[in-house]
Structure 1
Amino acid sequence: MTKDKDFEIFLATVPGLESVLCAEVRLKGFRQPVAVPGGVVIRGGWPEVWRANLWVRGSSRVLARIASFPALHLSQLDRRARQVAWQDVLRPDVPFRVEASCAGSRVYHAGAAAERIGKAITQTLGATQADDAPVLVRARIEQNICTISVDTSGDLLHRRGYKQAINRAPLRETMAALFLRQCGYNGQEPVLDPMCGSGTFVIEAAEIAARLNPGRARHFAFEQLATFDAQAWQQMRAVKSERTPSVHFYGSDRDAGAITMSRANAERAGVQDYITFAQTPISALRPPPGPAGLVIANPPYGTRIGDKQSLLPLYSAFGQTMLAHFPGWRVAIVTTEAKLAHGTGLPFLPPEAPVPHGGLRVSLYQTAPLP
C-alpha cells in the first residue's frame, strides 16, 4: 500500500443505523459509500480518512484497511503479516497494539493471531508494542481471510472534545446525530429537547445548523502515523464552513444540575448563542415563538421491573403537553419499551428497528406534524 493509493475505508456505527450513516456520508460528498453490516465502506486515500474523522457525525470510528490476505494457519498468517509494507503506514518511533477477532476460520485463537501480527510488526519495523499505545492495528480473520486495518480515530468519535459533564446513561453524540437525521432534521428548523440532560440533542442540532465540523476540537490517532502530513491537515482544518443558524434551539429539564451542565457543554462547543436552556417541568412546556420544528427526547426508560410502571405518568404528561400545546411540531422519543412510547398517547408512526445502546436496545418513535 503506497501513500497515495486508494484503499477501503470503513466507518463504523451502531448496528441498525448503517443506512442512516450511509446517507450522511453520501451527503458529505464521499464517493460511492456502501452500507455494510456494522458501518459504511468508502474508497479513498489518507485525505479521505482525515476528512471522515473531521466531518462525519454518525461514525464511531474510522478504520483504514491496509491489507487483506488468506490465512489458513498461524504460520501463513505470520509470513503474510511480514510482507505488509508496515513502514508506509506506521512509524518505528510510535508504539502500537494489536487486537484480533476470528470467525468461521481455521485460525480461531484471536490472542495467538494478535501475537503473531504484533511480532511481525516489531521485527520488520522496529516499533514497540504497548497496552496503552496510541496506534491500534486491528485484524479480522473471517472465512480464512485476514483483513488488517489501522484505527485512525483513537478515542471513539462521539468524544467531540467539549463534553466534560455528563449525566447518567447519556446518549452518545454519534447516535444523537443519526437519530436527528432519521427524523429528517437538516439544520433548518428549531429543535427542542424537554429532558435535555447534558444537552446532547440540542448541541448536536445547533452544530449541524452552524455547519461546525464534529471533529474540530480533538486529536486523532492518524496524527501518529507515517502517512500524516501536518501542513495538509492544518489546511483541511482551516477551511471555514461555519454560518449563523437561521433558527434557535431549546433545552429544558426539571433538574437544575442538568441545565448548568448543558450550558457549560454548549459553551465549550461554541454554540451557546444559539441555544436557550431553562429549568422547566414537562407540564409547563410551551412552544417557543417562531416556526414549528422538532421536539426530540431521550427520556428515562427504567431498567428494573417496576421502574417502567412508575415512569408511565412522566410519559403520559409529556404526551398530553405535546398534544395540547405543540400543533405543527413533530415529536420523537428514544425508548426501550413500546408500552412507554404508547403511554404518551402520541400518534407515533411505525417505529424504527431497535438498536443497541448502553447494554439495552432502544427504538426511535416519531410522529408526523401534530394536528
Structure 2
Amino acid sequence: MSDDPFDIFVVATPGLEAPLAAELRALGWEPETQPGGLTIRGTWRDVWRANLMLRGATRILARIGSFRALHLAQLDKRARKFPWAQVLRPDLPVRVEATCRASRIYHAGAARQRIERALREELGAEITSDAAMVVKVRIEDDLVTISLDTTGESLHKRGHKEAVAKAPMRETMAAMFLREMGYDGSQPVLDPMCGSGTFVIEAAEMAAGMAPGRSRRFAFEQLASFERAEWDGMRKAVKPQLPAPRFFGSDRDAGAVRMSIANAERAGVAGCIRFEQCQIGDLERPDCPPGIVVVNPPYGARIGNKGPLYGLHAAMGEMFRDRFRGWRIGIVTSDAGLAKATGLAWQAPGPIVAHGGLKIRLWQTGPL
C-alpha cells in the first residue's frame, strides 16, 4: 500500500459543511471547503479512518489520479495507461459514472464508455451496472479526475438501525445539528418526539467515543490497496466508554418508543438512554443539570393541514419555558412560522439544509 498522500473528498449534506469541517479538524485533519463537501490530504489509512470515524460525512471519495484530455481518443489512450491495478482488483466488477462540465469532451456517456473499455481490456475487470465498486470520472476544464467511492452505502447507514419512523432524521444530519448546538458529549440531551431515537442515540454514541462505522462494511475493503490486519487494528484501537445515563427520549407513540429501544440496544447504548411513552404536554424535566433539548417535530409537509401544528408549537414553547429553565432548545423545521409560534427567543437560524426534498433549518435558543 502506497504512503503517498492524495486528495480525499468528504461529501457533505448541503448546508452542513461548517460543522463537518469542525469535526474533521477535531479529528486532526485540515479541511478545505469546496462545492459539495470538503477536501483533505491523506493516505489510504486516512480514507479508512474517515469512513470509520466521521459522523457528519455522507461518503468518502479517494481521488486516485488526474490527467488532461482534449478529445475522446486522448481520453482512451490515457485511460489505458492509468495504473488501475494499484487500487482495483481484476476479479471484482466495477461500475463507472462520468460527468462533463466546461470541457471539449462534453458527452458523458461516450467518456464513460472509454473508461469502461480501459478497465475491461487493461485491468480485466467486469463492468456491471450494479457493482459495489464505483469509479467516478469528472471532466472539468479538460481535466479528467478519477475518484473511487470508498464508502458503498451512505455513511448515515451506521449498520445497527433496523427500525425507522416516518420521515426519519438521518444520523449524519442529527450528529451535525447536535454539533451546531455546541454538543460536546458532556451535556444531557432530551428529544421529546424521538421517533426512532436518532438524536439521543447519536448523542450517547458521541459521549461514549464510539466509532460510527463500527458495525458495517465499506467498499474500500474490496480494493487492492486494502490491508485487513491494519484495518482490524484501527477498529480495535477505538475504546468507547459508556457515559452516565443522561439521555432521554420520549414519544406519544408506543411503537416509536419500542423502535427506539431496539435501535439503542443494537447500537450498544441502551444502558445510558431512558425512553418513555409520553405526550409532549406531560413531559417532565429530568433530574439532571440543564442540557440540550433537540426536536424534529412535524412541519406540515409531512402531514398536510398545518393549522393544528401552530397550536402544538405554541404549547411546546410554553412547556419549555415553564419546565426547562437553563436548558437550550433546538428545533429542526422547514417552516419559520412554526418555529416562531413557540414564542421562544431564537438566535439567527442555521443554514438551509436539504432533507428529502424539503429545506429545513435548525432554530436554537440560548439557555432559557
* SS in structure 1 of the partner of residue 285 of structure 2: coil
Q: Distance in 2 between matches of 1:21 and 1:118?
A: 34
| Alignment correspondent of 1:178 | 176
Matched residue, 2:310 = 312
Tell me what 1:334 maps to: 332
Corresponding letter in the other structure for 2:141: Q
TM-score (norm 2): 0.97
Task: Report how far residue 75 of structure 1 moved.
Answer: 1.8
Mapped partners of 1:277, 1:330: distance in 2: 20
**Cα distance in 2 for residues equivalent to 1:211 and 1:169:** 27
Q: What one-letter code is carried by the residue in structure 2 that aligns with 1:94? A: L
Equivalent pair of 2:11/2:36 in contact (CA under 8 Å): yes
Residue-pair matches, total: 368
Deviations 1:333-370 (A, max 9, x none): 11001111101111110101211000111011000000
Amino acid at match of 1:250: F
Residue 14 of structure 1 aligns with an amino acid whose one-letter code is T
Name the counterpart of 1:157: 155
Equivalent residue for 1:15? 14
Tell me if 1:227 matches 2:218. Answer: no
Indicate conservation of the 8 Å contact 1:189/1:247, yes or no: no
What is the letter of the counterpart of residue 6 of structure 2?
F
- Give distance in 2, aligned partners of 1:109 and 1:347: 52
Cα pair 1:100 1:138 within 8 Å, conserved: yes
Contact 1:87 1:125 (8 Å CA) reproduced? yes
User: Kindly tell me: are residues 70 and 307 of structure 1, through their superposed partners in 2, closer, same or farther at Cα, counting changes over 3 Å?
Assistant: farther
**Aligned residue in 2 for 1:355:** 353
Contact 2:59–2:151 (CA<8 Å) still a contact in 1?
A: yes
Point out 4+ residue stretches in structure 1 off by more than 6 angstroms.
none
C-alpha change, 1:132 and 1:304, in structure 2 (3 Å) is: closer
Q: Which runs of 5+ in 2 are unaligned?
A: none
Q: Is the CA contact 1:198–1:259 (under 8 Å) kept in the aligned structure 2? A: yes
Where in structure 2 are the equivalents of 1:70-149 lying within 5 Å? 70-149=68-147
Task: Supply the distance in 2 between the matched residues of 1:191 and 1:73 (Cα, whole angstroms).
Answer: 56
Aligned to 1:49: 47
TM-score (norm 1): 0.97
Q: Output aligned runs, 1:229-268, within 5 Å.
A: 229-246=227-244, 248-268=246-266
Q: Once the 2 structures are TM-superposed, how far is the Cα of residue 105 of structure 1 from its aligned partner?
A: 2.1
* Aligned-CA RMSD value: 1.3
Q: 1:286 maps to what in 2?
A: 284
- Please list every run of 5 or more consecutive structure 1 residues that lacks an aligned counterpart in the other structure: none
Partners of 2:119 and 2:110 in 1: how far apart?
14
Q: Percent identity?
A: 56
Does the 8 Å CA contact 1:249/1:274 hold for their aligned counterparts? yes
